[in-house]
Structure 1
């Protein structure tokens, strides 16, 4: 499959599973930076290949075949992120950018070799789950948005759901990374802001950040 097809399938998967956006062709077009007409044409083409279901004015839904393809692309992307992070200590934005290119040039054979070299990791450096070679995500996600946490409780950062460079630069500067512990010290509900303590520093985050930082409570 072409890079354009793989990106289209992956965009539908990500919108449906993670981004909270609907999967109508217009939204997929916006995500990929293409015209609405081009997205509609691509959707019709992929529907003819049994990769998705297309109905005019309705959301796009991946078929079983399409979902398997999406998970295979996601697996390769997240394995590359994990490898680049381990070998070169690249930033979270840098590994995402490079993995976007490498995922399309990677055979299943190489993906399995990378996974084995890394010890078959379950998560990438962003905290996103890595599908196994059968296209299955075997981990259970019980994380919640930082915006939904309670003041006075401690949490572990489980996921940073973004591809924005400034967001990752901010997180790196303040130690906000997968696996780190934070204390929620206050929730300013009216102003939609969350105050946290990490590494003896106090940080005030707005909803744009706290909705894409996911955590698990420490019991």
Structure 2
């Protein structure tokens, strides 16, 4: 399977999991930095191979075959992120960048070895679930966007859904990490901002941040 195909089906899978659920060829093209014409051409070729369903002007949908390909790539990516984070204490941005390269060069055999070495983790350092060797995600996602969290309630950070360096640098500086606890002290709904308390520090975040930071209730 070529790198281009792996990246294409992975982009469809990931976009389909986001709140906007936008998997139209133009959106996938933007995600991958290619032209809309190139995305449409790829979609038609993959439809002929039963990897996805393609209809003109409609969202792309992976077949079961395509979903397995996507989850296999996602598994390798997130295992490499977990390995690099644990072994070298690399930043969240750096592990993502390196995993983007390594995921395509990794055999299923090596992926299984990495998983076993790490203790078969269920989540990567961003809080994203890691599929098992059968291409299954065995965890249940009950997280919500920080922007939807209730005032005066305590939450645990469950996912940081970004690959932007400045975002991760900010999160690192302020203790916004997977597994850390935050208190939502105020929701400014009109201005789309959220005030939180973390590590005894008060921070106000705008919607650009609160829409990609996911949390679970602190039971």
State the alpha-carbon separation in 2 of the partners of residues 94 and 107 from structure 1: 22
Instruction: Give the deviation of 1:130 after TM superposition.
Output: 0.1
Q: Is the 8 A contact 1:21 1:27 kept in 2?
A: no
Query: Do structure 1's residue 61 and structure 2's residue 61 form an aligned pair?
Result: yes
Change (3 A) 1:38 1:19: farther
SS at 1:132 equivalent: coil
**Structure 1 unmatched runs, 5+:** none
Deviations 1:117-148 (A, max 9, x none): 00000000000000000000000111111000
Residue matched to 1:158: 158
State the alpha-carbon separation in 2 of the partners of residues 117 and 124 from structure 1: 14
Q: Is the 8 A contact 1:24 1:59 kept in 2?
A: yes
Which aligned runs of 4 or more in structure 1 are off by greater than 3 angstroms? none
Instruction: Give the deviation of 1:20 after TM superposition.
Output: 2.1
TM-score norm. by structure 1 comes to: 0.99
Instruction: Give the deviation of 1:21 after TM superposition.
Output: 4.0
Residue matched to 1:18: 18
Residue matched to 1:84: 84
Q: How many residues align?
A: 219
**Structure 2 unmatched runs, 5+:** none
Deviations 1:125-174 (A, max 9, x none): 00000000000000011111100011111110000001111110000000
* 1:126-137 correspondence to structure 2 within 5 Å: 126-137=126-137
TM-score norm. by structure 2 comes to: 0.99
Indicate the RMSD between aligned Cα atoms, in angstroms. Answer: 0.7
